[in-house]
Structure 1
Amino acid sequence: MAAAANPLAAQAGAQIMAEGGSAVDAAIATSLVLNLVEPQSSGIGGGGFMLVWDAAAKRLRAFDGRETAPAGVDRNLFYDAAGKKKPFLDAVVGGASVGVPGLLRMFELVHGEYGRLPWARLFDPAIRMAERGFPISPRLHALLAQDRRLRENAAARELFYQADGSPKPVGSLLVNQPLADTLRRVAREGTLAFYAGEIAADIVAAVRNASNPGAISMADLATYRAVERDPSCIAYRVYRVCTMPPPSSSIAMLQMLGMLAQFDLARLQPDGAEAIDIIAQASRLAYADRDFYIGDPDHVRLPLAGLLDKGYLRDRAALIRPGQISPQPAAAGEPPQKQGLLYGRDTAIELPSTSHVSIVDSQRNAVSMTVTIENVFGSRQMVRGFLLNNQLTDFSADAASNGQPVANRIEPGKRPRSSMAPVVAFNGDGSLRLVVGSPGGSRIIGYVMQTVIGVLDWQMDIQQAVAQPHFIDRNAGLELEADTPLATMADTMRQLGHKVSVGELGSGLQGIEVWPDKLVGGADPRREGVAIGR
C-alpha cells in the first residue's frame, strides 16, 4: 500500500511495488512525483526525514535529509540594515532563506541499503509525467492564485501562470520539461549530477543573484551529507511508538504520549471537553520543552534521554489539572541530564508546506517519510523546474533570549529544528502496527499525536483517525478546527480556563494500519490524497 497526498503520486508508488520494488523504492518514486504535482510542498530543492522498518531484520532506522545552513551564512539573516527584524515573508522570499537541499542525498543513502529496483527506474514515473503533463488540481490552482510572490520569479511565472498573470486553470495540462531534464540527468548520473556541475552552479547562481541574496556555495553542495540517526521511541500502553529524533522536535509528541499514559483516555469521548482539556494541557507542557531544548544534536547538547525519562514525564503529567488550566503559558521543565544546559526560548516561525508518504510493501517493510520545502512554494526561487526551500527561516529569529543562547540559533553547517514527525508504531510482540505522518508546520506534532491516540486508544480505523476534527495547544492557547463539531466547544473550553481560537487546521495525514491479514489505509480528507493497495 502507498498513501500519499496526491493520487498520481500514490499510483507511482503502488506501481513500483507491483514491479517488485521495495517500500524504499516506492517512497522515492512517490516523492519524485509529488515534486511535480504538488510543487508547493516538497521536492528535490528541499529535504526530509525517513523512518525505514526492515521486517526481516526487525530493525527500525532513521535517516536525516534535513537541509543545512551554508558555511557563509549571515548570523543576522533575519534582520535588515537598520537592525530591525524582517517581516517573515521578506525573510522567506529570495536566496537568503535557502538551505543546502538534502532530499536526493537521503534517497541515495537509503536506496543503497534497501533498493531492489535500479535507481534510474524510480525516476521514470515523474519524468514521463513531467513530459506528458498532468492536470492542475484544484488545490494547486488555489495556492497559485493566492500567492503574490511566486510570479515574481520568471521561471515560475512561465511554468504556472498565463500571460495575464492568472494561474493556469484547473484541469489544464502542466508540462514541466526542465524538471524532466533534471530528473533524467540525476537518474542517469546519480546525485553527483545535482550536487556538482551545472545544476549545482545554477542553484548557487539563483541563490546569490536573488533580490534577497543568500550564501550557498558550490562547496556547500558538494560536501552535503545525509546522516543516519537512532530513532526516538517510547512505550505507550502495550505499544511502542517511534519517530524521528532531533533535529526533528517530534520528540514532543512522544512526551505527550508519555504524559497521557497516566490517564485512561479510552474511557473518554474523543471530542469531549475532558479529553480535549487533558490532551491540550499535555500539549502545552511538551511544546514548552520543545521551545527550549530542541536543536541540531550535532551542534548543541540536548537532554534527549531526560526528556523521555519515565519519572520526568510522570512529574510533568502531575502538572495536568483537569478543569484547572493556568492562564499563563507552561514553563519548560528540568529534565534529567539538563546540567549545564542554559537555553533561551526559540522564536522560529514554522509555517506549513510539507507532504507525507506512508508505504508498506508485500514483505511488511515500511517507510514513514515526511518531506518539505518549508513555506508554500518555498523561497519562490525556481531552478531547472524545481523550487528551492526556505528552510533557514526554521531557525530561531533570535540567537539569544534572556541572555541565554537559543538551541535552534542559526550557525554554519547546522540543520534547523523541524516539526516533521514520521511515526512507526509496533504491537507489544514487536510486529508492525501503524505507519503515519502529516504536514502542518509546528502543528504536525499535534496532528500525528491525535491520530496515534485515535487508533491506539479509541480504536478508530486509520481513516476515522486522520479525519477526526483537530485541536491543539502549542503553549499559546487552545486551537479548535473551524467548520467541525469541535468549533462548537469553544465556550465550554473557555469556561474551563482555556484561551480559545477557532480556525483552519490544515493537516494532510497519510497512514496505514497493519493487521495480520490486511492493510488499511487512510488519507486526510482535507487534502487530495489517497491510499492505494492490493
Structure 2
Amino acid sequence: MRIFRRTGLKKAVPAGLAILLGLSLAVGATGQPQAQPRANNFESIAPEAATGRSEKQATRAASYMNAAANPYAAEAGAEIMAMGGSAVDAAIATALVLNLVEPQSAGIGGGGFMLVWDNAQRKLRAFDGRETAPAGVDRRLFFDAAGRKKGFMEAVVGGASVGVPGMLRMFELAHAGYGRLPWAALFQPAIRLAEAGFPVSPRLHALLERDQQLRQMPQARTLFYTEAGTAKQVGSLLVNAPFAAVLRRVASEGSQAFYTGQVAADIVAAVRNSPNPGGMVLEDLAGYRARERDPVCAPYRVYRVCTMPPPSSAVNMLQTLGILSHFDLARLAPLSPEAVHLVAQASRLAYADRDVYVGDPDHVRMPLEGMTERGYLASRAKLLDPARGSTVPATPGEPPSKHGALPAYGRDSAIELPSTTHVSTVDAARNAVAMTVTIENVFGSKQMVHGFLLNNQLTDFSAEAEENGRPVANRIEPGKRPRSSMAPTVVFNADGSLRLVVGSPGGSRILGYVAQAVIGVLDWRLDIQQAISLPHYLDRNTGLELEEGTAAAVLAETMRARGHKASVIELNSGLQGIEVRSDGSLIGGADPRREGVAAGR
C-alpha cells in the first residue's frame, strides 16, 4: 500500500485562481485577504487551519478512481479495484480503513447512506444504513428529571445518544447485489493496517488532543493516549488489535457476528452501563435491517441529479439547484457578489422546507415529490429578490403532496454536527458509488467497544416532539431513523451516462457544500478539484456564512450592504468527487481542507 505525502489548499487564494474566479481581492498590510474573527465550530480541526493549506491538483486516471478522506483509505479502495473488485467492493474496503485511520468521523459503530450506480443495467439504487432509535426509547430522552432540556454535549456523552448501528448491514445488503469479490476479501486492507499499525495523522492528533471527554474513557485512553494522558504524537504507530479481531469475525461469519453474540452484548453493556445510560437491548441489534430505497432525482439544466431519499434531507439540495435553474449562473464568476447572493437566497428557501417536512419515511408523511416539482420550485424562485438579501428567516412553502393534506408540522430544533466522511468511487466498468458515513459528533458518543466508537446519532432527532403545538416530523420515536443531511450524489448527462459522483461531510451544511460543487462543475466548467477547492458560502436560513481565510470572507461587507446577515466562519467540508469526461477518462478531487486524496489507475 503506497503512502501519500499530505497536500492541501492554501486559504489565501492564489492570484491565478483569483483571476479565474473574477475576484478583486481586498488585502491587508500582509498582502493576504483580511480574515475575520474565528468562530467556535466543532469541525475547526485541521491542524493547519491557522496557517492555511497548500494547493491540490486533480488526479487523472483511465480505468478506475477512489476518492476518500485519508490516503490509506483511498489506496485500499484502489487496491480492491485492481484485484477486479466492483465500486461497491472498493467503497466497503475504503470505509473499513476509514474506521481505523479516521475514527473521529465514522465506523462500524455508526451508519450511513450509499448510492450505487449499475452501469450495465442503467440502474441507480439507494441503500439506507441509518441508525435507528432503540425500541424502548422515550420522547423525553434528552430532558432531565426536572424537565430541563440537556445541553448538547451533556446529551451526547454516554449511552443515551447511541442509535442502533447500521453500517455493516448496509454493506452486506449492497454487496449481495453489486459485489464481485468475496465478502472476506474486502476486510483484508483494514485488518492488515489495524494489526501492523499506521502513523497518527496531524488531523487525528489535533482532534485527540482537543477532546477532553474521550481521554476519560478507559478503552479510548489506552488506544489513543500516552500514559501521561496526552494524545499520541503525529507519526507514532497506532495499532488496533481489538478492531482487527472484530473485522476477522465479521469477514468470516458475516454481519451477524456484529449484531448478535459477544460483540452485540458488549455494545449493549457499554450503552446501558455508561454515564448517561441508554436503553438499547440485544433485540434492537439483532432486529436491525438496512433498507434499499428509490433515489430521489431532479433535472438541473440538461443534467439529471440524483441523491439520497429521506431520512436524508438531500432532497433540499435538489431544491436549491432547482431554484437556481431559473437563473443564468454560467455568466457569473463563482465568487462574484451576484453569484453568492443567488446561491444564498436559494439555499435559505430550501433549508426552510427542510426544517419542517423531512423525516423518516417509514414514520412520517412528507411531500417528497412535491418538493422538487417544477411548478413549485418556479414559484419559490420568484421569491428571490435579484438585488437584495434578507435578514428575516424564510418561511417554508406548501409543496404539493400526493398524500393530500399533511399535518401542520413544527420546525425542527435538531443540532446536526459535522463529524462524517465521504467516499466517491468509479470502477473500470463505470459502476459508481457515492457513500457518506458517520458517527455524528467528533468521536461519537465517546463510548468505545472492541476498538471502535459508538455513534451519538440520536441527537440528530429534534429534542422537542412539538413546536407551538405542532408535531415535529423529526421527533424521536422507537425504531425511527433520525433525519440526516448526508447527501451522496450522482449526476448524469442528458444521454443518461455518468457525469459526476460527489458528496461531503459537514453536518447540516452538507447540502450547501454539495450544491456548490455541482454548480462549480456544471455551470462554471471547473474540474472537480477546482470546484471542491472553491471557497464556501451558504445560507441555512440563519444568515449568510462565508468561509474564513478565503476570498469569500472578503465579500462580507459587500453582502451586508446587499441586505444579508453575513458572518465569516470556518467552513471545513470534506468533499470527495470524481467526474467522468466525455472521452471516458476520470478526474478525481479531494477536499484540501482535510487529509484526503483521489487514487486511481
Q: TM-score, length-normalised on structure 2?
A: 0.88
The correspondence for 2:584, drawn from 510, 514, 517, is 517
1:66 is paired with a residue of what secondary structure? coil
Instruction: Provide the residue aligned with 1:47 in structure 2.
Output: 111
Listed one character per residue, the Cα deviations across residues 457-512 of structure 1 (whole Å, up to 9, x for unaligned) are 00000000000000010000000000001101000000000001101001000000
Contact between 2:366 and 2:406, CA under 8 Å: does it hold in 1?
Answer: no
Instruction: Provide the residue aligned with 2:435 in structure 1.
Output: 369
RMSD: 0.6
The correspondence for 1:380, drawn from 416, 421, 446, is 446
1:373 is paired with a residue of what secondary structure? strand
2:440 is paired with a residue of what secondary structure? coil
Q: Which amino acid aligns with 2:440?
A: E
Instruction: Provide the residue aligned with 1:351 in structure 2.
Output: 417
Instruction: Provide the residue aligned with 1:307 in structure 2.
Output: 371
The correspondence for 1:464, drawn from 530, 534, 538, is 530
The correspondence for 2:279, drawn from 212, 215, 228, is 215
Instruction: Provide the residue aligned with 1:171 in structure 2.
Output: 235
Match runs of 1:85-124 below 5 Å: 85-124=149-188
Match runs of 1:29-40 below 5 Å: 29-40=93-104
Give the whole-Å Cα distance in 1 for the aligned partners of 2:465 and 2:389. Answer: 31
Listed one character per residue, the Cα deviations across residues 209-234 of structure 1 (whole Å, up to 9, x for unaligned) are 00110011100000000001110000
1:256 is paired with a residue of what secondary structure? helix
The correspondence for 2:263, drawn from 199, 214, 226, is 199
Kindly indicate whether residue 323 of structure 2 is the aligned counterpart of residue 256 of structure 1: no
Match runs of 1:78-89 below 5 Å: 78-89=142-153
Instruction: Provide the residue aligned with 2:471 in structure 1.
Output: 405
Give the whole-Å Cα distance in 1 for the aligned partners of 2:321 and 2:262. Answer: 47
Query: How many angstroms does 1:31 deviate by?
Result: 0.3
Q: Which amino acid aligns with 2:111?
A: G
The correspondence for 2:360, drawn from 296, 314, 320, is 296
Give the whole-Å Cα distance in 1 for the aligned partners of 2:387 and 2:162. Answer: 44
Give the whole-Å Cα distance in 2 for the aligned partners of 1:27 and 1:340. Answer: 38
Instruction: Provide the residue aligned with 2:387 in structure 1.
Output: 323
Give the whole-Å Cα distance in 2 for the aligned partners of 1:379 and 1:119. Answer: 29
Contact between 2:390 and 2:565, CA under 8 Å: does it hold in 1?
Answer: no
Larger RCO (CA under 8 A, 6+ residues apart): 2
Give the whole-Å Cα distance in 2 for the aligned partners of 1:240 and 1:305. Answer: 15
Give the whole-Å Cα distance in 2 for the aligned partners of 1:214 and 1:383. Answer: 15
Give the whole-Å Cα distance in 2 for the aligned partners of 1:143 and 1:501. Answer: 25
Q: Which amino acid aligns with 2:347?
A: S
Q: How many pairs does the alignment contain?
A: 534
- State, as a whole percentage, how many aligned pairs show the same letter: 72
Contact between 2:319 and 2:350, CA under 8 Å: does it hold in 1?
Answer: yes
Give the whole-Å Cα distance in 2 for the aligned partners of 1:303 and 1:359. Answer: 31
Q: Which amino acid aligns with 1:479?
A: E
1:522 is paired with a residue of what secondary structure? strand
Query: How many angstroms does 1:397 deviate by?
Result: 1.3
Listed one character per residue, the Cα deviations across residues 7-35 of structure 1 (whole Å, up to 9, x for unaligned) are 00001000000000000000000000000
Give the whole-Å Cα distance in 2 for the aligned partners of 1:467 and 1:325. Answer: 25
1:52 is paired with a residue of what secondary structure? strand
Query: How many angstroms does 1:517 deviate by?
Result: 3.0
Listed one character per residue, the Cα deviations across residues 37-83 of structure 1 (whole Å, up to 9, x for unaligned) are 00000000000000000000000000000000000012111111111
Instruction: Provide the residue aligned with 2:311 in structure 1.
Output: 247
Kindly indicate whether residue 557 of structure 2 is the aligned counterpart of residue 500 of structure 1: no
Contact between 2:391 and 2:543, CA under 8 Å: does it hold in 1?
Answer: no
Instruction: Provide the residue aligned with 2:331 in structure 1.
Output: 267
Give the whole-Å Cα distance in 1 for the aligned partners of 2:330 and 2:507. Answer: 28
Q: Which amino acid aligns with 2:270?
A: A
Q: TM-score, length-normalised on structure 1?
A: 0.99
Gaps of 5+ in 1: none
Instruction: Provide the residue aligned with 2:481 in structure 1.
Output: 415
Match runs of 1:278-293 below 5 Å: 278-293=342-357
The correspondence for 2:595, drawn from 515, 528, 531, is 528
Give the whole-Å Cα distance in 2 for the aligned partners of 1:272 and 1:77. Answer: 46
Instruction: Provide the residue aligned with 1:159 in structure 2.
Output: 223
Q: Which amino acid aligns with 1:268?
A: L
Query: How many angstroms does 1:389 deviate by?
Result: 0.2
Give the whole-Å Cα distance in 2 for the aligned partners of 1:248 and 1:302. Answer: 12
Contact between 2:422 and 2:437, CA under 8 Å: does it hold in 1?
Answer: yes
Contact between 2:463 and 2:475, CA under 8 Å: does it hold in 1?
Answer: yes
Give the whole-Å Cα distance in 1 for the aligned partners of 2:355 and 2:584. Answer: 42
Give the whole-Å Cα distance in 2 for the aligned partners of 1:236 and 1:283. Answer: 15
Query: How many angstroms does 1:322 deviate by?
Result: 1.7
1:359 is paired with a residue of what secondary structure? strand
Q: Which amino acid aligns with 1:49?
A: F
Give the whole-Å Cα distance in 1 for the aligned partners of 2:569 and 2:390. Answer: 22
1:512 is paired with a residue of what secondary structure? strand
1:101 is paired with a residue of what secondary structure? coil
Instruction: Provide the residue aligned with 2:25 in structure 1.
Output: none
Q: Which runs of 4+ in 1 moved over 6 A?
A: none
